[in-house]
Amino acid sequence: MYFYGTDVSEVRVFLRGSDMEDKKTTFIYKILRFLIWLFYPKPKILGTEHLPDEPCVIVGNHTQMNGPLVAELHLPGKRYIWCAGQMMHWKEVAPYAFEDFWSFKPKWTHPFYRLLSHLVTPLAVCLFNNAHTVPVYHDARLRTTLRESMERLDEGNNLVIFPEHNVPCNHILYDFQDRFIDLARLYYRRSGKALAFVPMYVAPTLRETRLGEPTRFDPAAPLDDERARIKRYLMENITAIAESLPEHTVIPYRNIRRRDYPKNTSKDLIEHETAGR
């Protein structure tokens, strides 16, 4: 997918469309997506043999925007990505983008990043509303998230979720939110099938993404126990995949200073606050 050395046949396939049923997308979005596809380094996708034959939930480290980009552009098969619903609504983008992307930057830079959050609003609304996304809400609109997620699974799509939030855990991951695991109970009631959760580690500095062995929801176990078990399994396996790779810089969930990015061999916790905040 590099500009130089890109296989012309790859470009033709991309322009014709992937193996997914595309949304009705705007022309501007198609141009933006093609430009991102052209210049964003293509990663190796390893471990695809761990993907089950039926729909599943792929759970990965966010790595800022790298995880969603890899999922949208390069993961095989039909898939939809959970994304923050705020990034799809014009009035909600700027406050959300500043808080989530740039609030950890030094305070003296905040006016610049507040302005930038407004400037990226048209781009964000275009990209997130046209990409293969499911909007995620934490208010009364949660029903929309659950309904669309079930519809996508019913259609045979995988769901890709990046559940880290602003609580440091280890040198690879911030802590996972766990309510996405409730999808498995809804899916079991709907289909009678135990949903599989597949761990994924995205390593942009190695230009590599690895999928691990899945775990399945146990409908006979208490939901609270399953939330804890599946969350622990995913976090432990993603961390283990990262630690098994050659030494590299880990791109953390938070947009902190580059000099504070950890190595996969480090055992230090990611700092919750950075100097200068």
Residue 100: pLDDT over 90:
no
Instruction: Grade residue 127 by pLDDT with cuts at 50, 70 and 90.
Output: confident
What is the SS3 assignment for 69?
Answer: helix
Quick check: 104 and 174 in contact, CB under 8 A? no
Structure tokens at 40: 């964003």
pLDDT tens-place string over residues 23-70: 556 888 889 889 999 999 999 999 999 999 999 999 999 999 999 999
CATH: 3.40.1130, 3.80.10, 1.20.1510, 3.30.2320. Which one for 43-260? Answer: 3.40.1130
Instruction: Grade residue 75 by pLDDT with cuts at 50, 70 and 90.
Output: very high
Residue 265: pLDDT over 60:
yes
Find the DSSP H helices in 54-120. Answer: 66-73, 90-97, 110-119
pLDDT of residue 19: 46
